[in-house]
Every structure is written in structure tokens, then in C-alpha cells.
Amino acid sequence: MGENGIVSFSDETPSPGFNFSPSLTKPVALGATLRIRTSASDLSRSQVAVSQPDILSIQTVETIEESSESRITVQATAKGETGLKVTLSDDRNDYINVSTEAVATSDIWIFPWDSLIPLDATLWTQGVRALPNTNLTVFGHMESASGQTLTGHHALEWHVDTAANASIQPAEHSDFAVFKSGTEPGENTLNFGNFPPLEIPTITSDQVSRMSIISPFQSIYQVDAGASLILHAALFTEDDGYVVGIDDEPVIFETEGAVLGQLINHSDENAMDSLNLERAYRQGRATDFQAEQPGTYTVTARWKGLESTLLINVIQRQSTPSDVQPQE
């Protein structure tokens, strides 16, 4: 909400995790473009002003389609702080203070599944490798000299140096991008600005030496009867590099006495789209396990001659007060 409590201002910059119209609290990266959503309807350019236009340049003011709100797009052109003011048709006004900071460092974050369901980065402590024809979501995270996370997009540019035919496809309104491993093996260096790059060589399937079934979101392989446990068949090279992609062959999961893939087979389509479960299951070597009866179950994964097994202990679900039915 603005300083006068009349107009709401929210940062539209997509970032990892759930974004529920966050307030504009982060500094804007110098050189970045920022899209600001406001609750004011049908704003025109003449109704928006910046107190120090050398710091923040107004690019466009537009009405958001199928909405009663407006979008203000600005660019951070100098370091500092300035006010952004909106004057409504009834002459009431509101404003926010926007600060800008230079990018001091950046990191490249990777999301083999989806940015809403990130895997533990310790999986790729020894680096990342990509099988041919793999699309990998990446994100450029920017910080100021004081360690503050910066917002806005396209302050820094994506580019890839490749010995084969890998490429990078930046998103239009964020610092997400899709790294495409290409069809041929070779070294690839992914860059976001002029900061430390990320090496993602494209390898062949015969360079994958082992597979391990893990649960990405818990370390103890125990689950209540009737509950689901997400599983991931993680691939690694001989030097423990984490491998993304499936090449041309999916992982086959098998078990007896339990059900695999229940979530994706019976999930609501809208929920599935929002979490991109299709990609995690088809390209990210994921599945889910569910058993109705207590006991010990074995899950087996197979891929191109590699095999891995995992024992899962299913226990009787403990009763909760809500489970107790009232006496008649």
C-alpha cells in the first residue's frame, strides 16, 4: 500500500517460489526494468510522476487487460532513492519510495523440476551435467554490496559459451531462462552478466554411472498409510556430477502392493499446471508412492541398464481428534 493508504503498489517481477503480489520492498537493480501493478484504474502517463527522473525512468503506463488495475513500467537508470507518485482522477494521490542499487554479485539457481518445487541444491555440489535435448529452468539471483536481494529484470544478460549447440532462452519479464543442452555433447558455460558462470556440459547417456532413488523433501523413508511420498531417481556421473534430463528413455518405476504415480494420474489439471508436475514426472524422473496397508515396500527404478532400489516403511496413521466420530 502507498504511503497515503489509497493506492496499492505491488512488484510483478516473477521469482522462485510463490509470488502473491509482493509489496515493493526490495531495491531495484541498476539498469533493470520493473513492472509495478497498482490498484488505480485506467491510469494515463500524465497521472504518474517520479520526483527524481534521473534515478527512475517511466517507460509505459497501461491498463491491465481483464482487470480494473494499471501497470507502471519503469527502468532504474541511476543509484539512489526516489518517489513514484500516482494522481487519481478525483485528485487524490498516493506514492511509494523506490530505491535502486548496483548489482554487486549474482548467482545462477537451477530448477530441474520447477521453481515452485525446488530440489535440494546439495544434489549438485559436484556440478551439473545435462543429457542431450534437455531443457533446464535457471534463474539469475542478484544482490547488492550489502547483501540485499534485488528486484527487476534484465539488468544483466544471459549468454552461453558452447563447444557444441547449447543455447539459452531468457524470459520476457523476469530473470528466469531456459537452458537448452542441444543435441551434441560438449562443454557449455552459462553466464548471467559478468559474474561467476555455471558449467553445464552436455554429456552422453553412457557417462551416467549410477542412479539413486531419493525423497527430495524428507530424509526418513517412512510414511503413514494412505499418504504420498514423492520420489526422485537421481542420476550421477562417475565424479558425482548431478545429471538433468532423460535422453530418449524415461525411468521405469516398479513396486508391489502399492501405487506409484497416483498424484499425477488423479491431480486436478489446474493444480498440476501450477506446479508443473508433468515436467517433474516426465522429464525430472519423479514419481510418488502410496500404500494403504502398513509394512515394508520396495520401489525399483530402471533406466538404460542402471537400477536402484529403495525400502519404504509404511506405518499405521495415528488417529487425531478430528478422526474421532461423535457418539449418537
Select the more confidently predicted residue: 277 or 61: 61
**pLDDT for the residue 313:** 95
Question: 9-101 adopts what CATH topology?
Answer: Immunoglobulin-like (2.60.40)
Q: Among 109-118, 128-137, 257-266, which is the least confidently predicted range?
A: 257-266
State pLDDT tens for residues 242-294. 999 988 888 999 999 999 988 876 555 444 444 557 778 877 899 999 999 99
Q: CA 233, CA 301: separation in Å to the nearest integer?
A: 7
Q: Which residues contact 290 (CB under 8 A, 6 or more apart)?
A: 226, 227, 228, 229, 258, 259, 260, 262
Exposed / middle / buried, residue 14 (Cβ in 10 Å: 0-12, 13-18, 19+): middle
State pLDDT tens for residues 44-54. 999 999 999 99
Q: CA 281, CA 264: separation in Å to the nearest integer?
A: 8
Mean pLDDT, all residues of the chain: 91
Q: CA 207, CA 307: separation in Å to the nearest integer?
A: 15
Q: Which architecture characterizes domain 206-315 according to CATH? A: Sandwich (2.60)
Domains 9-101 and 206-315 share a fold: yes
Share of the chain above pLDDT 90, in %: 78
- For the entire predicted model, the pTM comes to 0.89
Share of the chain above pLDDT 70, in %: 92
> H or E stretch including 272?
helix 269-275
Q: Are 286 and 262 in contact (CB under 8 A)?
A: no
Select the more confidently predicted residue: 124 or 262: 124
Domain covering 105-204 assigned CATH 3.40.50 in the classification: no
Listed residue (283, 300, 311, 317) closest to 131, CA to CA: 283
304 pLDDT higher than 60:
yes
**pLDDT for the residue 281:** 82
What's the one-letter identity of residue 71?
Answer: R
Q: Among 53-57, 71-75, 265-269, which is the least confidently predicted range?
A: 265-269
* Domain boundaries of the chain, sorted by first residue: 9-101, 105-204, 206-315
